Structure 1
Amino acid sequence: MRPDHSFKGRQFTAEVILWAVRWYLMFPISYRDLELMLQDRGVAIAHTTLFRWVQTYAPEIEKRIRPHLRASNGSWRVDETYVRVKGRWMYLYRAVDSRGQTIDFLLSAKRDAEAEKRFFRKALGQPHTVNPRTITVDKNPAYPCAIEKLKEDGELWRRSRLRQVKFLNNIVEQDHRRVKRLVRPGLGFDSFWTARRTLAGYEVMAMVRKGQLRRIGGRDMRAQANFVAELFQIAA
């Protein structure tokens, strides 16, 4: 196994960095709150450094966790919510299955058929997803266009059934609250790429807390910490 050099040149140990990043991504705290929490543990660090850690390691944690997720089922519930980026509202497409397990997410500046096609292509390409039997969405007229095009291109199973029934999407609408709760302390994002990296971390750690990791419970914090540490070849 090749040594992991992800933390090479950092002033702090990998254990401290992963602890800080995991906590920021799991709980509704600001960078300044996390700075004070670390000071209480004897670790003096600026909130700007914590921001840089999250921007560097949140997408890396997401990439490394993806292959270890449990398979989702074929009943997809798709919806979009709003995220403020540099004073503008942008669209966060999200999907869960009928059990509430996260399928995928995509941040987009636009809410149209092209954005929806990108989202479905991204979701279908994940190792833990299957081609859906049913796709439940709201009354947004762009969804039927996107679904039809994906079927024509052979990217989506032709027998996948689209259901535009709003009340059936309560599962995903309730699940949006997880993201909103985490975003609120930060008062929005300064750029699209900052938002994208941070949201990737929020979403993948939410998957972990939902119990989507194979052989690791959603409430077993010690096992989760050990697992993330092992992904980077360190001891938690």
Structure 2
Amino acid sequence: NDNCKYYQNKLNSLTKEEKEIYKSNPGKLKLRYIYREFKFSLASLNPNTPNRPKIDLAKAHNPLNVVGLIMTFYVNFGLSSRTVSRIMDEVFSIKVSHQTVLNYVQATAYYLSSFTKDHIKDLSSKLCGDETYIKVKGKWRYIFFILDPVKKILISSLVSKKRDTLAACTAIKQVIDCFKEIPEDLTFIFDGNPIYLLAKMFFAKNNIQ
């Protein structure tokens, strides 16, 4: 809308040189008001958490030190559940099916999820994040992660089907919830993906600058 007051004021404030630039390349200068309607609310931003496990680790057939050993091979060394099962049998003479390995992993993730969130404290005011691909049950998903480079703490790791503004806002909200009071100089450092600019607009609309 060329009659928009916002646009007219911006256009009239340009210098002669800027008007020449705008005439040859309109996209280089942002003169128009951008309105964005978000179809989700701040209260609806709930980060995903692991599903309740099928087993209770306190009642597991194997002692917890064996569960810890299984987790070491599966998580620290990145081995498959079948490989871990084979190692436990051939090296330690402990028969554990690959499905039991996966059950232990799911149960451990569930209990550690709330534990780690409750112990994220004293974060610095400058945080950075990014997103990348991850395969979940044979399907590609996006994982958004935000960390504190000073304290070397991973604060948020959100898995999403889409690489969109909703996922970015959800990951950022998970971080904001870790602060008792939001620092005035809180800064998020991301790449140039437009979803983060839209996330900034969303939080500004909700009085979180």
TM-score relative to the length of structure 1: 0.57
Determine which structure has greater relative contact order: mean sequence separation of CA pairs < 8 Å that are 6+ residues apart, divided by chain length: 1
1:86-235 equivalences in 2 (<5 Å): 86-99=137-150, 100-126=152-178, 131=183, 133-154=186-207, 156=208, 158=209
Secondary structure at 1:57 match in 2: helix
Number of residues paired by the alignment? Answer: 152
Distance 1:46 1:128, change over 3 A: farther
Following superposition, the deviation at residue 28 of structure 1 comes to: 1.7
Secondary structure at 1:78 match in 2: strand
Match for residue 111 of structure 2 among 51, 60, 65: 60
Match for residue 12 of structure 1 among 58, 62, 65: 62
The equivalent residue for 2:123 is 72
| Whole-angstrom distance in 1 between the partners of 2:58 and 2:155 | 33
| Whole-angstrom distance in 2 between the partners of 1:14 and 1:92 | 30
Structure 1 residues without counterparts, runs of 5 or longer: 159-236
Match for residue 94 of structure 2 among 43, 61, 73: 43
TM-score relative to the length of structure 2: 0.63
Contact 1:24 1:31 in 2 (8 A): yes
**Deviating runs (4+, > 4 A) in structure 1?**
127-132
Match for residue 34 of structure 1 among 48, 70, 84: 84
Secondary structure at 1:135 match in 2: strand
Structure 2 residues without counterparts, runs of 5 or longer: 1-54
| Whole-angstrom distance in 2 between the partners of 1:53 and 1:107 | 20
Contact 1:66 1:128 in 2 (8 A): no
Larger C-alpha radius of gyration, 1 or 2?
Answer: 2
Distance 1:117 1:65, change over 3 A: closer
Following superposition, the deviation at residue 50 of structure 1 comes to: 0.5
Match for residue 74 of structure 2 among 13, 24, 28: 24
- 1:59-85: CA deviations, max 9, x gaps? 212322333345321111111000123
Contact 1:81 1:93 in 2 (8 A): yes
